[in-house]
Amino acid sequence: MNPINSIAEIRSLFPVLNEQVNGKQLVYLDNAATTQKPISVIDALQSYYLHDNANIHRSAHTLASRATEQFESTRELLQTFINAKESAECIFTKGVTESINLVAASYGKLVLKAGDEVLLTEMEHHSNLVPWQRICAETGAVLKFIPIQTDGSIDLEAALAIINPKVKIVSVVWVSNALGTINPIATIIEAAHAIGAKVMIDAAQAASHFKIDVQALDCDFMAISSHKLYGPTGLGVLYGKRELLEAMPPYQSGGEMIKEVFLTHSTYNELPYKFEAGTPNIAAVIAFKMALQFVTDIGHETIAVHEKSLYDAFLLGIQQSSFNKIKLIGTNPHKIAVQSFEVVGMHHFDVGMLLDASGIAVRTGHHCTQPLMRKFGIEGTVRASFAIYNTAQEIDYFLAALQKICDRIK
């Protein structure tokens, strides 16, 4: 594939960006909820159903073989993308939520006993909180939380103090979906390993913004989302170290995950199939390869530089005195191109609707992080999140629309 040279060229790969919303050109700033999909991903989804639709790993016919080859080639590229030791350590799931549920239910149940501790942060998405609440209730383990500071960063000193030999599992979000903060996971992983705990990383918001190297990080598990990484919805990845995955009992049972089935018992398949019960979302997996290719072709460094320039332009604009009604939530500078804020004097739902009237898509609400919102003493925020296809002109237009809203508040 030819190198992609300009943002205009990148935009041309995303047909949806030409949509008109309420008579205005769409300005899509809700990328942390889901990114748009490049045409290569959309074509791959269609092509699978047009030409290759067959179930994988089973039949001897040509279509089944074509589908299986494509399906497994995504796994191969994924291995390179996150630098896993082997592709069998990459398990396809429904999404990050299922990846975390899988680890909590399978690994959690395997190792947790009454009195053990599971350590999370106060900024977790409900997906990395509720599964651990449930397994702790079931096993008698106790949930502990790394506190966060007023700027939206975790208190690393407190984190290191709270990591003690009773902690068996640490599950931490790499990048906060609500605040954009990048957490110091390498330090946490090292400290957790020093006392023998295993570490799960929720990389839902990380993978589209910077390069992942699971071996360098030495994390034990990592959850990745396809749809936040320019790929289709309904698909995620669980990375796990082989020795852990092999020791873990299956999560769901049925087709594909078995080796031999007798009426009274069964033996289980090898990795990764042991954890891929049932017919997977084949089209999504095949198309996800195009998303990984898209990000690889542009390069994480180019993405990071462009997104930072957008974020800096937004921050510079919003700090002007005319925006004195905007209160930023999450001000730690070590973050991705995501900003939550309140418009003082107007509910975030109203702000979201007024922006939508101008064609601007942002997220409003609690961002599935209710404990975090409570910590800040708010119900929710407006969240703008930028991606590689956003432009400086869109930031200007967004700022102008916000200015108009602020001007209305007496």
Provide, rounded to whole angstroms, the least separation between the CB of residue 382 and another protein: 13
Q: Note whether 350 binds another protein by CB under 8 A.
A: yes
- The correct pick among 63, 247, 316, 357 for binding another protein (CB under 8 A) is 357
Note whether 49 binds another protein by CB under 8 A. Answer: no
How far from the centroid of its chain's Cα atoms is residue 71's Cα? 21
406 is catalytic: no
Exposed, middle or buried: residue 260 (CB in 10 Å: 0-12, 13-18, 19+)?
exposed
Q: Which of 300, 347, 366, 375 binds another protein (CB under 8 A)?
A: 347
How many Cβ atoms from other residues are within 10 Å of residue 97's Cβ?
A: 21
Stretch that binds another protein, among 169-177, 242-250, 317-325, 348-356 (CB under 8 A): 348-356
Query: Does residue 378 interact with another protein by CB under 8 A?
Result: no
Residue 147: Cβ-neighbour burial (10 angstroms; 0-12, 13-18, 19+): middle
Among 354, 361, 368, 378, binds another protein (CB under 8 A): 354
C-alpha span between 214 and 376 (Å, rounded)? 32
Single out the residue of 353, 392, 396, 400 in contact with another protein (rule: CB under 8 A).
Answer: 353
DSSP label of 128: G
Report the nearest approach of another protein to the CB of residue 253 (Å).
37
Contacts for 311-319: CB closer than 8 Å, 24+ residues apart: 311/336, 311/337, 311/338, 311/339, 311/386, 313/392, 313/395, 313/396, 314/339, 314/384, 314/386, 314/395, 314/398, 314/399, 315/339, 317/395, 317/396, 317/399, 318/399, 318/402
Grouping H, G, I as helix, E, B as strand and the rest as coil, residue 49 is helix
- Decide whether 134 or 366 has the Cβ nearer to another protein: 366
When asked if residue 361 is in the footprint of another protein (CB under 8 A), the reply is no
Please report whether residue 344 would count as binding another protein according to CB under 8 A. Answer: no
CA distance 153 to 196: 25
Catalytically annotated residue among 90, 136, 219, 368: 368
Q: How far is the CB of 348 from another protein (least distance, A)?
A: 9
Output 317 or 365, the one with its CB closest to another protein: 365
Does residue 64 bind another protein (CB under 8 A)?
Answer: no
The residues in 23-42 that bind another protein, with binding defined as CB under 8 A, are: 23
| Range in contact with another protein (rule: CB under 8 A) among 92-100, 138-146, 157-165, 346-354 | 346-354
Judged by CB under 8 A, which stretch of 184-192, 205-213, 242-250, 349-357 contacts another protein? 349-357
Residue 182's alpha-carbon distances to 43, 172, 210, 362, 379, in angstroms, are 33, 11, 11, 21, 23
User: What distance in Å separates the CA atoms of residue 399 and residue 128, rounded to the nearest whole number?
Assistant: 33
Indicate the residue among 10 and 360 with the shorter CB distance to another protein.
Answer: 360
Residues within the interface to another protein (CB under 8 A): 22-23, 346-347, 349-350, 353-354, 356-358, 404, 408
- Residues with a catalytic annotation lie at 368
